[in-house]
Amino acid sequence: MIKEAKFVISNSNPGNCPKPDRAEIAFIGRSNVGKSSLINAITEQKGLAKTSQKPGKTQLINHFLIDEHWYLVDLPGYGFAKVNKKVKDGWEAMISTYLKKRENLCGVCVLIDSRLPPQQIDLEFILWCATEGVPAVLVFTKADKQSKSKTSQNIQAFIRKLENFVEEAPQYFITSAEKGTGKEELTEFLEELVKE
Ligand code: GTP
Ligand code: MG
């Protein structure tokens, strides 16, 4: 369980992130998938990460210090943010530099909307992680939005597609920031990961 979470710094330049002297985990995924909401859910602080109904809310690399021990990072989304192409290209460059260069990064949680059939952009991003050697786990979001069977149908379809691209599909979690589903399980996993 996370006891304390504090905002540290927001950056557009990956080079200005905090000193890489602690383990770090980043949340990434399409715009509006629920990255910031899930950070608030697992830290139990409603306003810690800024959320919005409008895709493109998170625009910077945001570091949060968890239990004085590790960093949790909220990133801008990829995909369909309501911003112009130049801005979007800038985010993508910022995110890929951050992911490639951040030496204390233990892993990334790739958030995927559990309501949708497999999206090419998510599959491509996971493949990119595998190619770049960035350890990734899948976190399906918004599970409260539909029936359990629909969620599981979408997840199975996603895993099947993914298996065409990567040798072994990563571990996955099913979550709802709204209802708190999967919160404990995911937190426990992250806490183990930063211990290693
Ligand atoms: P960007 O910062 O724009 O990339 O988006 P994000 O991935 O950080 O998404 P954010 O957390 O801002 O949430 C986007 C919208 O989805 C908000 O309106 C949230 O309230 C809603 N949302 C997030 N998680 C859940 C969930 O588990 N269930 C439901 N029903 N809505 C959710
Ligand atoms: Mg966000």
Domain spans in the chain, listed from the N-terminal domain onward: 5-195
Per-residue pLDDT tens digits for 45-63: 999 999 999 998 999 999 9
**pLDDT tens track for 73-128:** 999 998 766 667 887 788 889 999 999 999 999 999 999 999 999 999 999 999 99
The percentage of residues in the chain with a pLDDT greater than 90, rounded to a whole number, is 88
- Ligand 1: which atom is nearest the Cα of residue 175? 27
Rounded to the nearest whole angstrom, what is the distance from the C-alpha of residue 52 to the centroid of ligand 1? 7
Biggest CA–CA distance in the chain, Å, is: 44
For the entire predicted model, the pTM comes to 0.96
- Evaluated on CA atoms 40, 46, 47, 52, the torsion sign reads positive
Q: Is the pLDDT of residue 196 over 80?
A: no
CA atoms within a 13 Å half-sphere pointing along the CA-CB vector of 149: 0
Type of residue at 73 = V
47 vs 53: CA distance, rounded Å: 14
The response to whether residue 182 sits with its C-beta less than 6 Å from ligand 1 reads: no
Give the closest residue (by CA) to ligand 1 atom 18: 53
Question: Ligand 1: does its nearest atom lie under 6 Å from the Cβ of 107?
Answer: no
Given a cut of 90, is residue 23 above it in pLDDT?
yes
Homologous superfamily (CATH) for 5-195: P-loop containing nucleotide triphosphate hydrolases (3.40.50.300)
Amino acid at 132: E
pLDDT of amino acid 87:
79
CA of 52, closest atom in ligand 1? 12
Q: Give me ligand 1 centre to Cα 51, in Å.
A: 6
The 10s digit of each residue's pLDDT in 25-50 is: 999 999 999 999 999 999 999 999 99
Say how many Å lie between the CA of residue 111 and the centre of ligand 2. 11
Nearest residue by C-alpha to atom 14 in ligand 1:
32
Instruction: Report how far residue 196's alpha carbon sits from residue 193's, in angstroms, rounded to the nearest whole number.
Output: 6
The CA distance from 91 to 97, in Å, is 10
